[in-house]
């Protein structure tokens, strides 16, 4: 290999790069044959060390009293890893902490990465575990002191050397590096330094032409990585980008759910020519319900929902709304006449088949009939609670985001400072959110996010 490898290991106060800090870092630079540079240092985290971290690492608060803060060693870290591939065992962990420390200093730190966990899964499939401790035992690697940065760096270096001895290591490593090492041709006026300065954080990104018109809108948990991907495989879409894109902009959201919501909203509002999936989708028809003159709940397909109770679904056409209503009536054994599906007097056809309980001929009282509908509507709701808020991460450590669901529909979202805002009622949330127009797509995005993620919920009672 013709690359220099910066093998890195860190010890930290915890597992979250956003909330925790580095307390020790070690780096060894390896040119494929020998060590050519090294650096190690304790790091003052400007906070106390949890007891369980001390038990694991042996690092105490007293040991860090005179240790440099991260900003004091930042320049050295940049210099020693310059033009190197950042190597670590589970590189996502170490790399995210180093990046976040630089983010706090207002600097974007980017390096190509190699994870030795992925390397060994490729080269040595079928091992019981690919944790560093298990690989040390499996390959009889000598380690003086586990869970100290330099000792773990040396162990990771020995693992890397084993991998580099594999005959097909060069081609395999190139595949593992993927977009980080692959040559990419960017549009005129956009170079690799501009791409590398994009954040590797969650948000929405925009491709603009020479007149600042938006060509394409996308979202990603890693904006830089996703933008690179657009220009790495020649397709009809990437060729179009190459010929038109002259600028790249972005907006961080922190929350992946808000990134999805913002992308959907922006595409429908701005209608960029390269986005086709969402821009033309509209859901103008709703099914409203009300009580007729006899006190029975009836349904109406309408475009206007102002002042009406609405089943929480919207439809692209009156035909699709009618089909949904027909299915809803059939599944719940409702009366076609009373429900408004067929406005005829007397017994409905379903009553003759024993599929209607007789509301159309007065055999089922409005009270009993309406109770069955209310239970069905409750089961039909997209969300289990009509009004609630969802708390998610924000764009920076001291911030969180909040999404409001009111009357079973997405209403809007906002960001707030963790220390200065509390929510005791739904009105507290409504006072800070930016209201959003109803859209069925937004409800589905929120529902999917709740299913896929463990998010904090605030329920509101009337």
What integer pLDDT is reported at residue 454 of this predicted model?
77
pLDDT for the residue 181: 40
% of the chain beyond a pLDDT of 70: 87
Neighbouring C-alpha atoms within 13 Å toward the C-beta of 187: 18
Q: Write 53-58 long-range contacts (CB < 8 A, 24+).
A: 53/11, 53/12, 53/13, 53/14, 53/23, 56/147, 57/11, 57/23, 57/24, 57/147, 57/148, 58/145, 58/147, 58/148
Q: Where are the alpha helices (DSSP H) in 397-439?
A: 426-430
Give 34's Cβ-side CA count (13 Å radius). Answer: 1
- Higher-confidence residue of 307 and 115: namely 115
In terms of pLDDT, which residue wins out, 142 or 406? 406
Residue 283 pLDDT exceeds 90: no
pTM: 0.51
Average pLDDT over residues 114-142: 80
Best-predicted range by mean pLDDT (229-238, 262-271, 287-296, 417-426): 262-271
| DSSP letter for each residue of 161-230 | HHHHTSTTHHHHHHHHHGGGTS---PPTT--HHHHHTS-SSSEEEEEE-TT--EEEEEEESSHHHHHHHH
Which of 66-80, 278-292, 355-369 shows the lowest mean pLDDT across its residues?
Answer: 278-292
44 is catalytic: no
Q: What is the enclosing helix (H) or strand (E) of 285?
A: strand 285-291
Lowest mean pLDDT among 27-36, 128-137, 253-262: 128-137
pLDDT at 261 over 50: yes
| Active-site entry in 44, 147, 230, 337 | 147
pLDDT score at 382: 61
Pairing between β-strand 84-88 and β-strand 112-115 as defined by DSSP bridges? parallel
Residue 1 pLDDT exceeds 60: no
Domain 192-270 is in which class?
alpha beta
Q: Which residue has the higher pLDDT, 382 or 361?
A: 361
pLDDT band at 175 (very low <50, low <70, confident <90, very high): low
Average pLDDT over residues 319-332: 83
Percent of the chain at pLDDT above 90? 36
Contacts of 41 (CB under 8 A, 6+ apart): 24, 25, 26, 67, 68, 73
Least confident of 54-58, 141-145, 433-437: 141-145
Rounded to whole angstroms, the Cα distance separating 80 from 28 reads 9
- Give the 3-state secondary structure of residue 299: strand
The terminus-to-terminus CA distance of the chain in angstroms comes to: 66
pLDDT at 180: 42
Q: What is the mean pLDDT of residues 291-309?
A: 80
Strand partners, 296: none
Tokens for 365?
Answer: 């009282």
Looking at residue 378, its pLDDT comes to: 67
Rounded distance between C-alpha atoms, residue 391 and residue 280, angstroms: 30
Per-range mean pLDDT, top range of 74-88, 165-179, 228-242 = 74-88
Residue 280 is predicted with a pLDDT of 47
Domain boundaries defined on the chain: 4-180, 192-270, 285-366, 388-459
Q: Give the separation between CA 291 and CA 300, rounded to whole angstroms.
A: 11
The pLDDT of residue 244: 86
What is the predicted pLDDT for the residue at 48? Answer: 93
CATH superfamily assigned to domain 4-180: Ribonuclease H-like superfamily/Ribonuclease H (3.30.420.10)
Asked whether the predicted pLDDT for residue 86 surpasses 80, the reply is yes
Rg (the chain; Cα; Å): 29
Round to whole Å and give the CA distance between 231 and 55. 47
The pLDDT of 412-435, averaged and rounded, is: 90
pLDDT at 35: 95
Stretch 44-55: mean pLDDT, rounded? 93
Considering the chain, what is the average pLDDT of its residues? 84
pLDDT in tens, 185-210: 677 778 777 787 888 889 999 999 98
Evaluate if residue 253 carries a pLDDT over 90: yes
Q: Is the pLDDT of residue 179 over 70?
A: no
Check residue 233 and give its pLDDT: 65
Top mean-pLDDT range of 61-75, 100-114, 131-145, 440-454 = 61-75
Q: Where does the pLDDT of residue 381 fall: very low under 50, low under 70, confident under 90, or very high at 90 and above?
A: low
């Amino acid at each position: 290999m013709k690359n220099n490898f910066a093998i890195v290991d860190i010890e930290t106060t915890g597992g979250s790069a956003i909330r925790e800090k580095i307390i020790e870092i070690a780096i060894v630079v390896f040119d494929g044959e020998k060590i050519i540079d090294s650096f190690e240092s304790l790091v003052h985290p400007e906070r106390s060390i949890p007891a369980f971290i001390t038990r694991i690492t042996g690092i105490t608060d007293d040991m860090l009293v005179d240790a440099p803060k991260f900003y004091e060693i930042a320049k050295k870290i940049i210099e020693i890893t310059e033009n190197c591939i950042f190597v670590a065992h589970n590189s996502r962990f170490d790399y995210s902490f180093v990046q976040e420390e630089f983010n706090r200093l207002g600097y974007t730190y980017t390096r190509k990465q190699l994870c030795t966990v992925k390397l060994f899964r490729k080269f040595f499939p079928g091992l019981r575990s690919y944790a560093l401790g298990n690989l040390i035992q499996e390959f009889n690697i000598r380690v003086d002191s586990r869970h100290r940065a330099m000792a773990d760096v040396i162990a990771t270096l020995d693992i890397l050397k084993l991998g580099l001895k594999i005959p097909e290591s060069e081609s395999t490593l190139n595949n593992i590096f993927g977009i980080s090492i692959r040559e990419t041709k960017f549009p005129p006026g956009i170079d690799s330094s501009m791409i590398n300065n994009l954040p590797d954080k969650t948000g929405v990104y925009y491709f603009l032409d020479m007149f600042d018109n938006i060509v394409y809108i996308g979202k990603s948990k890693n904006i830089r990585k996703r933008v690179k991907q657009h220009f790495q495989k020649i397709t009809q879409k990437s060729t179009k980008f190459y010929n038109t894109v002259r600028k790249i902009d972005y907006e961080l959201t922190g929350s992946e759910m808000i990134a999805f919501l913002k992308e959907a909203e922006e595409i429908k509002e701005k209608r960029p020519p390269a986005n086709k999936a969402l821009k033309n989708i509209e859901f103008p028809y709703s099914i409203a319900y009300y009580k007729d003159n006899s006190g029975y709940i009836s349904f109406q397909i309408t475009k206007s929902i102002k002042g009406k109770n609405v089943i929480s679904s919207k439809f692209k056409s009156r035909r699709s709304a009618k089909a949904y209503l027909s299915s809803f009536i059939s599944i719940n054994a409702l009366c076609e006449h009373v429900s408004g599906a067929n406005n005829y007097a007397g017994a409905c056809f379903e009553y003759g088949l024993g599929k209607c309980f007789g509301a159309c001929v007065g055999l089922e009282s409005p009270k009993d009939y309406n109770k069955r509908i209310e239970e069905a509507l409750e089961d039909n709701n997209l969300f289990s609670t009509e009004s609630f808020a969802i708390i998610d991460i924000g764009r920076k450590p001291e911030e969180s985001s909040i999404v409001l669901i009111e009357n079973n529909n997405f209403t809007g979202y906002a960001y707030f400072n963790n220390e200065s805002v509390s929510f005791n009622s739904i009105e507290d949330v409504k006072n800070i959110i930016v209201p959003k127009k109803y859209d069925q797509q937004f409800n589905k995005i929120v529902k999917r996010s709740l299913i896929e993620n463990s998010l904090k919920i605030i329920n509101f009672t009337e």
